[in-house]
Amino acid sequence: MKKNCFATVSALVLGSFALSSCDTPVGQGAGIGAATGAIIGGAATGHVRGAAVGAAIGAGTGALIGAAVEEDQASRYGPLPTRGYPIGRWVGPGLVKSPYTGRVYDVREVPPGGLVRDVDENRLFRRP
């Protein structure tokens, strides 16, 4: 019975991980951390509760690591702003206005919270 429960929980966690569409490093880190934590927590305790606790701890840890990775990747484009990157404003479906120049960008391929480069100013801002 315990093996069936563990196998079911593991399959559900891995299935949800495979179907997720987290495109930012924070989202990817949280997803990988949750899947890994669920597997380890379930294997260590043999209970669903252990898998759930492991998933929660793994998601939090993965999100923190993903945030550090995202900031490291962004630093390649220049110095990081002291107050963080400004957020663009929606002007239509999939269109965002730059906070620097007011130029409109198509951000349908950019994940929410992802960085967009204003080509006129050569500066980054976040997609809302």
pLDDT tens digits for 5-48? Answer: 666 776 666 666 555 546 677 778 888 888 888 888 888 888 88
User: What is the spatial distance between Cα 71 and Cα 65, in angstroms, rounded to a whole number?
Assistant: 10
- Round to whole Å and give the CA distance between 128 and 27: 15
Angle between helices 25-45 and 2-19 (to 10 degrees): 180
Residue 38 φ/ψ, nearest 5 degrees = -65, -40
Q: What is the pLDDT of residues 42-99, one digit of tens each?
A: 888 888 888 888 888 888 888 888 878 877 777 776 677 778 889 999 999 999 999 9
